[in-house]
A and B are shown apart, each in its own frame.
Chain A
Amino acid sequence: MITIQNLHKSFGDLEVLQGIDLQIDPHEVVCVIGPSGSGKSTLLRCVNGLETITSGSIVVDGIDIGASKNNLAAVRREVGMVFQSFNLFPHMTALENVILAPTRVRKLSKSEAVERAEKLLARVGLADKRDSYPAQLSGGQQQRVAIARALAMEPRVMLFDEPTSALDPEIVGEVLDTMRALADEGMTMMVVTHEMGFAREVSDRTVFMDKGQIVEIGAPADLFSRPQHPRTQDFLNKVL
């Protein structure tokens, strides 16, 4: 579903991604862990073109995102993204947030989009919040609306960029539950996270990144219990 080959990304003189190769299969859940500054968020942001890539290639669902502007737009329609800071549109209600892209990009009629949005809000447990503005919602509720907003485009892939890092510890669970349900339904997911428990339990494969490189990749049972690389061992010792 996602094929990343020899991906390099530099900000000025700083090379934050130094030759990433990664293949993600349909319905696979891949969690990316690693220390701050390891390039994991940048990698994620390259997949839907929020960062331009310096060299290498990313192909999503058969579409090479670097080949043309049209391809980039096509990939963005197929890839949903959830941000650390939610980034809900504060001047719109939860429902308006969810229907904006389907009506503007997918050209759904308003009634179709509203019907879809209501189902999605119900699915993330927020049917009664459809007319609330983001400022009236808790962080966990905002993030669930953001997930519903991304799902409203019926993406083939979902990207999560530290979706629980801005949340109070006691409401992290509600967002992780929503993501777990999504994984169970077979969504292809790439998740940058500091939630080791979630990575261990939900991911099919876990990627450990450090200093712009993939250091180790494997089934979570192996990676968390028997890390092969000293840098992985060192990192896991610190966070677990």
Chain B
Amino acid sequence: MDAFIEQALGLLGAAGWTLLLCLTSGVAGTAFGFVLGLMQISKNPALRWPAVVYVTVVRGIPVLLLIFFVYFGVPLLLGVNLEPFFTGFVSLALVGAAYTGEIFRGAIQAVPRGQSEAATALGLNAADTMFRVILPQALRIAVPAGTGFLINLVKDSSLIGIIGFVELTRAAKILSNLTLDPLGAFLMAAVIYFFISFAISRVGALLERRLTPQFGARKPRVDDPALTPTGH
């Protein structure tokens, strides 16, 4: 039993690295993806096309190959060797940017056209129209897809183990070699992955509600006949 707790704690430590990897690459990827999303809807082809090409190409390459390209390509191109963690961070951020870029583009374009027209007619400039009118609505639309993206990111991070970084899946593999109980080790890892994903989807659902004030903090409509007492 003691051995079991020890093993579980070892996996939890590796899960910490998985979380750190996903958190950093998720933030960087989302920031880059936000820029890509804006570029994709730009009227200027010099901004639009590089973003469209980037998103299409990166989404068309298996994540594992992209990791290899970064791991083996960067030393060749820049002459510096990358730490496995940093390789993982860069690879997952590059992939994440392509996916979130597409999510942001779709969400912004899903906001009805009348919204930007109303803002324009009121005299708001392009930046105010985007940041005060369109984006608050687009973010809510983006949350479900964004939640799915983050869950995928957590699972994709298991591929980083292949280049030698000890994240959760690799730790489980090492553990199974020690205990000769691969099923037990991988089951423990799976349970940890599940709880991380579960937490992300709960936070996503919460965020979606928070970003929908007209439904989240619903006040009764005064003129709603169902709420008006009808005599005694």
Q: Which B residues touch A79, using CB under 8 A? A: 121
- Select which of A131, A133, A149 is within 8 A of B122 by beta carbon: A149
B128 in contact (CB, < 8 A): yes
Q: Which A residues touch B213, using CB under 8 A? A: 91, 133
- Select which of A48, A50, A136 is within 8 A of B218 by beta carbon: A136
A100 touches B124 (CB 8 A): yes
In the bound assembly, the distance between CA atoms of A134 and B112 in angstroms comes to 15
A128 touches B222 (CB 8 A): yes
A150 touches B122 (CB 8 A): yes
In the bound assembly, the distance between CA atoms of A146 and B119 in angstroms comes to 12
Q: Which B residues touch A137, using CB under 8 A? A: 221
B118 touches A89 (CB 8 A): yes
Interface string of A83-123 (1 = CB under 8 A from B): 10101111100000000110011000000000000000000
| CB nearest neighbor in A for B214 | A133
| CB nearest neighbor in B for A84 | B114
B24 in contact (CB, < 8 A): no
Q: Which B residues touch A91, using CB under 8 A? A: 136-137, 140, 211, 213-214
B112, B122, B136, B219, most chain A CB atoms within 10 A: B122
**Range class of the B interface residue count:** 20 to 34
Cross-chain pair count, CB within 8 angstroms: 76
Main SS class of interface, B: helix
In the bound assembly, the distance between CA atoms of A83 and B117 in angstroms comes to 9
A101 touches B124 (CB 8 A): yes
A79, A88, A91, A135, most chain B CB atoms within 10 A: A91
B214 touches A135 (CB 8 A): yes
A101 touches B122 (CB 8 A): yes
Near A by CB (< 8 A), chain B positions 90-146 give 112, 114-115, 117-125, 128, 132-133, 136-137, 140
A136 touches B214 (CB 8 A): yes
B121 touches A48 (CB 8 A): yes
- Select which of A73, A87, A104, A135 is within 8 A of B118 by beta carbon: A87
A100 touches B132 (CB 8 A): yes
A9 in contact (CB, < 8 A): no
B115 touches A73 (CB 8 A): no
B123 touches A105 (CB 8 A): yes
Which of B's residues lie within 8 Å of A, judged by CB?
112, 114-115, 117-125, 128, 132-133, 136-137, 140, 211, 213-215, 218-219, 221-223
> Nearest 10 pairs between A and B by C-beta?
A133-B214, A87-B118, A101-B122, A87-B114, A135-B214, A81-B121, A105-B123, A76-B123, A77-B123, A91-B136
Could you jot down 21 A-B contacts, CB within 8 Å?
A50-B120, A50-B121, A76-B122, A81-B121, A83-B121, A85-B114, A89-B115, A89-B118, A91-B213, A100-B122, A100-B124, A100-B133, A101-B122, A104-B124, A105-B124, A128-B222, A132-B219, A133-B214, A135-B215, A149-B122, A150-B121
Given contacts A104-B124, A136-B221, A138-B223, 9 further A-B contacts (CB under 8 A): A73-B123, A76-B121, A87-B112, A89-B118, A89-B137, A101-B122, A132-B219, A146-B118, A153-B123
